Structure 1
Amino acid sequence: MNLNINGKKEVTYDAIVIGSGISGGYAAMELCLKGYRTLVLERGRMVKHGEYPTANMDTWDLENRNMVSAEEKALHYFKQSRLSWWVNQDNKHWINKDDEYPYDEVERFDWIRGHHVGGRSIMWGRHCYRWSDIDFEANLKDGIAIDWPIRYKDIEPWYDYVEKFVGVSGQKEGLKQVPDGQFLKPFPLNCAEQHFREAVGKVYPHRVVTPGRVANLSEYNPENHKGLRSQCLSRDRCWRGCPYGAYFSSLSGTLAVAAETGNLTIQADSIVTEIVFNTQTGKADSVRIKDANTGEESEFFARIIFCNASTIGSTSILLNSRSETFPDGLGNSSGELGHNMMDHHYGMGARGTLPGMEDTYYKGRRPGGFYIPRFRNIDEETRRTDYIRGFGYQGQASRGPNAPAGVIGADLKEVIFTPGEYGIGMTCFGEMLPYHDNKMFLNFDKTDKHGMPTIVFDAKLRENEAKLRVDGVTCAEEMLEAAGCKDITSWNQETAPGACIHEMGTARMGRDPRTSVLNKWNQMHEVPNVFITDGSCMTSSGTQNPSITYMALTARAVDYADRQIKAGSL
């Protein structure tokens, strides 16, 4: 007879991290570097750095010229393909099939996600922009929702810390709305974009066209960029996965460094069903999981737990973690868990052709184009009376092929090798306010194939967003006109929340446990050994791509947790 007398000991760790994406990977690395035996639970399949099936394929190597058939979309991607650009042959292996991972909608929600080690850090757009006190003070000044419990000074050193590791290329501009950071050299603007920058700056001094600040290594410094990384080759195939580790991802960066410490254990195919609360200690004891393939249930124990399963994933776990103490979800006495859902919204912008510069061209590709930071409602001079908050733009200029309409045969062969005119296009990204009524919740009466309750979304854009969008389109047209563009066209096709893949806010930070889920350290008010540092912690959405802020908050929270443990307070 064999007795396992070390049963609980074998499933006990110093720390558990739920999720392996942008913030989960960072939590794992910081914990492991501080000496904590850390278990990372990932509900999706195992992926190791370099296992990127389409990374070295050319367009002609891909089926159907990289397009997914209408039949396949209708069968497997009927919700995600509502975004016409999203599901392709080169990235579909990173994308969940809608028929396998269903969700319900009161209001349309475009939930973009993939289940695998590394999460969306493999697929992200890599733009990295700091927040400023314009963002952290906005709710208080506007009388919207609740005040952030932190300010820029609280997170500034952590931006410095993570930017050095991540590697953010960019150009210092001295703008108060997007503070400068620890930049590598920028991927430069091409000649048309430089002309655009100068022309816009002359007419609209508050509007700055700058190289996009992206997490691609324009320079490689092994002392800072640890893990499995190297310099960017500007292949512009980033969302396939980069075999060179030239852009930041969990696989090439944080998880690789964590593994080197010997303190990391990753368990894939592990669906977290709940975090178990101990009424006697007032803390969480363990995390229960279900094997995604076999359905076998297991339980793992730890002193501290970091929940980084994404805004929707983390909040779903918390809502499903019901007990006598927390019948509405772990740490949810405030009732705010699941509410205040935000995303950025886009589907608005403009493009035009730029005459001249026929004798110029550019070489190769880049991992990003230009960025125009927010210039509305940043001070009294730029204040609007019709809406609050603001928007920014991402875009680029390029020369397409010269293929005039109606030209065929030998004539087409003659002209097609001559570049066409420069074109400039930009997409506007707007801020969404934290409305309490924008929410997600669980339908416990309808379960998926794993027995998990169905996630339901009920969130939409409202009046402030609609007014903001009109101005965002107008400003785009104005800037193209200032640059001398012709044939300007614009669009304002309202997107549903989720489409920008920046969902946030469902377990927000705040000072008061009666109106928030987390304190200023990303620590649950009511369950002090549980931390949440993914997008669910956000109190407002800003206009900037949020991932670098998640990472800074994560590093800060791990440092705090470590200090509390060493002081005997946690």
Structure 2
Amino acid sequence: MNKEMYIDESSEVYDAIVIGSGVTGGWAAKELTEKGMKTLMIERGRVVEHRKDYISEAVPPWEYANRTKVAKELTDEQYKIQKQCYAFHDGTKHFFGNDKDYPYSTEEGTDFSWIRANQLGGKSLLWHRQSYRMSAFDFEANKKDGHGNDWPIRYKDLAPWYEYVEKFVGISGAAANLPQLPDSVFLPPFEMTKPELDFTAKMAEAEPDKPVIISRCAHLTKPQKIHLEMGRAQCMARNECQKGCSLGAYFSTQSATLPAAAKTGNLYIAPNSVVESLIYDEKTNRVKGVRVIDNDTLKQREYYAKVVFLCASTLGTTQIMLNSTSKQFPNGIANSSGVLGHYLMDHNYNALVTASIDGYEEEYYSGRRPASLYIPNFHYEPGRYHKDFKRGYALAGSASRADWQSMGSMDGFGKSFKSLLHNPGGWGIGLQAQGEMLPRHDNQVALHSTKKDKWGIPQLNINCKWSDNENAMMQSALEVASSMMEKACFNNIEQRILGQPPGLAIHEVGTARMGRDPKDSILNGYNQAHDVPNLFVTDGASFCSTGVGNPSLTFMAITARAVDYAVKEFKSGRL
């Protein structure tokens, strides 16, 4: 990255503007620039340089004042929401948004935890990297059971784009030949522990419809030429991921898509630029530019382009669209259908089952792998639905031995206790559900009527809650996971409903959904706004349903596909 790439004021009309720099924004920039489009990436946060700005990488826990715990007075003042995230600690907090600066509200009786990472690279620096294709069943579910609108695309439309992005990203995993979980282009999988291998074998006999596989994750177990050329290296299983990885061993904007885009010479970046709204030209029915407010000085400026890609995250994108009003679109740009902001969804992770495993005292493992056990959705079509709910869930977890971190909360003192901390404890296993959330019109986000943030932009007001369907799903997950552990002869089985609100899965989707009919959707099957032809939305806002698997791989595939379409339309003169 060179300094000439970063801009402040500019009167130039770019071929394309990309708003956001996370997983989707990075992919949009890569694809646009590689296709010859002079592209401006707008990022509301600061610049984070690969390697240089991973300030806590390789710093061991004992070198932090509170062993990576963040002081209570700091979390209470600045990180009340962010501290709920699994990845939040003293070595990663600088990659999270400050809740004081990013306020939002929720309707009475509801709760939503909006996890934010406003810097170059966005949440691609913090994501958990689990990477799954959606299946034919996922794309057909809305039409078959009547919940939500019909996806305007099918698995076959996205399959070649999944393959395209997987080769660049690098996905570790093993082929399983399952209809509900299509295989990817895989690098070698991470290894299971001995108890996990035995559990997998037992379940193959006892529960053949619930196969246990190793999870699929965006880590380079065996880098290929395409990865090495980007300066990326093999994953060392260090568990340093959310601090930033200088090896580039996991996929992020910084390690992969951003350097690829920069290499073309067609990329420009406007950091510290908070997008206030899109500039709409009623005469041409096109977006002609973007209004931004400087993150620090609060000075206003504008950037112009012929095509705009919104990749600001589901809620960020929706906020921008709702705040982009005109005579033609008084309720938000491209919102003639009135569904903008509605159908907000997230995954439900609220069921957890744990158990202890006897034996295996001579077994251990090397490293801290980023993969887990994974049991794909077994309620994947209407004929397989549970009697108490629609759609389904997956289970994920791992078996490991207790170590000094978990023993740190045990009672004890003196030499014997210190000796205990030097040795691994017993084996345990945990399985947590990942359930689908039905699309519901009542789950929505809107602009608050009076409250604004420090940039003068109306805050979001969120109304989103779990339904009886999602709650029944979690009860089933407890029963199924417990039954599997009983059949495996595990002990001390414990069930927990975690009570987490929507948002904490960080898989929010659905608020500017795709669709076949402009009357009930915002976008067409190429993520192009029905109402405004040169506006594309390729982040999670475009989803019609959550599916069961983690969405990031699908974000990447639909972005690459949308850019391919947009550039062809642009060069043909139709945009």
TM-score by length of 1: 0.96
Please list, as runs of the form range in 1=range in 2, the aligned pairs for 1:536-555 lying within 5 A after superposition. Answer: 536-555=541-560
Equivalent position of 1:428 in the other structure:
433
- The aligned length equals 562
1:63 Cα deviation from its structure 2 partner: 2.4
Structure 1: unaligned runs, 5 residues or longer: 1-6
CA distance in 1, matches of 2:501, 2:370: 26
- Counterpart check, 1:461 vs 2:466: yes
What residue number does 2:42 align with? Answer: 41
| Counterpart secondary structure, 1:253 | helix
Aligned match for 1:62, one of 61, 64, 68: 64
Mapped to 2, the partners of 1:535 and 1:128 lie a distance apart of 15
**Contact 2:350–2:474, Cα closer than 8 Å, also in 1:** no
Look up the match of 2:166: 163
Post-superposition CA distance 1:338-357 (Å, at most 9, x none): 00000001121111111121
1:510 aligns with 2:515: yes
1:411 maps to 416
Is the Cα–Cα contact under 8 Å of residues 80 and 86 in structure 1 kept in the other structure?
Answer: no
Say whether 1:476 aligns with 2:481. Answer: yes
Equivalent AA in structure 1 for residue 393 of structure 2: F
* 1:494-505 to 2 correspondences below 5 Å: 494-505=499-510
- Whole-Å Cα distance in 2 between the matches of residues 84 and 46 of structure 1? 22
Is the 8 Å Cα contact of residues 166 and 225 (structure 1) preserved in structure 2?
A: no
The correspondence for 1:227, drawn from 212, 222, 230, is 230
Tell me, in whole angstroms, the C-alpha distance in 2 between the residues paired with 1:229 and 1:85: 26
Helix, strand or coil: the match of 1:161?
helix
1:556 counterpart (548, 556, 561): 561
Match of 1:79 among 78, 81, 85: 81
Alignment of 1:91 onto 2:92: yes
What does residue 240 of structure 1 align with?
243
Distance 2:237 2:39 in 1: 35
What residue is the counterpart of 1:20 in the other structure? 21
Checking the alignment, whether the CA contact within 8 Å between 2:102 and 2:453 is kept in structure 1 is yes
Compute the displacement of 1:414 (Å): 4.2
Q: What is the letter of the counterpart of residue 397 of structure 1?
A: A
Q: Distance in 1 between matches of 2:99 and 2:105?
A: 11
- Aligned residues of 2:40 and 2:268 also touching (Cα < 8 A): yes
Residue matched to 1:4: none
Q: Letter of the 1:445 partner, please give it.
A: T
1:333 to 301, 312, 336: 336
Conserved 8 A contact 1:132-1:176: yes
Inter-partner Cα distance in structure 2 for 1:8 and 1:285: 16
Residue 272 in 1 paired to residue 305 in 2?
no
Contact 2:130–2:215, Cα closer than 8 Å, also in 1: yes
Which string of whole-angstrom CA distances, capped at 9 and with x for unpartnered residues, describes residues 302-344 of structure 1?
1110000000000100000000000000000101000000000
1:243-279 Cα deviation digits (max 9, x unpaired): 1110000011001110011000011000111111111
User: Which letter maps to 1:438?
Assistant: N
Tell me, yes or no, if the aligned pair for 1:42 and 1:268 is still in contact at 8 Å: yes
Supply the distance in 1 between the matched residues of 2:11 and 2:73 (Cα, whole angstroms): 48
1:431-468 per-residue CA deviation (whole Å, 9 max, x = no partner) reads 10110010000014221111110111001001100111
Moved more, 92-101 or 223-232: 223-232
1:215 aligns with 2:199: no
Distance 1:415 1:67, change over 3 A: closer
Identity of aligned residues (%): 43
User: Deviation at 1:407?
Assistant: 5.2
Aligned counterpart for 1:487 among listed residues 486, 492, 498: 492
How far has the Cα of 1:539 moved from its partner? 0.2
Structure-2 residue corresponding to 1:103: 104
Alignment partners' CA distance in 1, 2:9 and 2:299 = 17
- For structure 1, which segment, 534-543 or 370-379, has the greater mean C-alpha deviation from structure 2 after superposition? 370-379
Partners in 2 of 1:32 and 1:369 — Cα distance?
A: 36
Q: CA deviation at 1:44?
A: 0.5
**2:354 corresponds to 1:351:** yes
Give, in whole Å, the separation in 2 of the partners of 1:85 and 1:180. 27
Structure 1 stretch 371-380 or stretch 274-283: which is displaced more? Answer: 371-380
- Would you say 1:147 and 2:153 are equivalent positions? no
- C-alpha separation between the residues in 1 aligned to 2:526 and 2:65? 48
Instruction: Look up the equivalent residue of 2:425 and give its one-letter code.
Output: G
The answer to whether residue 214 in structure 2 is matched with residue 199 in structure 1 is: no
How do 1:393-412 and structure 2 match up within 5 A?
A: 393-401=395-403, 408-412=413-417
Distance in 2, Cα, partners of 1:199 & 1:12: 62
SS of structure 2 residue aligned to 1:419: coil
Partner AA of 2:438 in structure 1 = L
Cα distance in 2 for residues equivalent to 1:351 and 1:366: 20
Please show how residues 304-323 of structure 1 align to structure 2 within 5 Å.
304-323=307-326
Structure 2 match to 1:115: 118
C-alpha contact (below 8 Å) 1:165/1:225 kept by paired residues: no
Judged with a 3 Å threshold, the aligned counterparts in structure 2 of structure 1 residues 303 and 84 are, in CA distance, closer, same or farther, namely closer
Residue 447 of structure 2: aligned partner: 442
The offset of 1:10, in angstroms, is 3.8
Partners of 2:85 and 2:115 within 8 A in 1: no
AA of the residue aligned to 1:216: H
Structure 1 residue 223, shift from structure 2 partner = 2.5
Task: Give the distance between the partners of 1:148 and 1:527, measured in 2 at CA.
Answer: 20
Instruction: Give the aligned partner of residue 5 of structure 2.
Output: none
Match of 1:387 among 383, 386, 389: 389
CA 1:134 to 1:226, structure 2 compared with 1: closer, same or farther past 3 Å? farther
Q: Structure 2 CA distance, aligned partners of 1:329 and 1:383?
A: 37
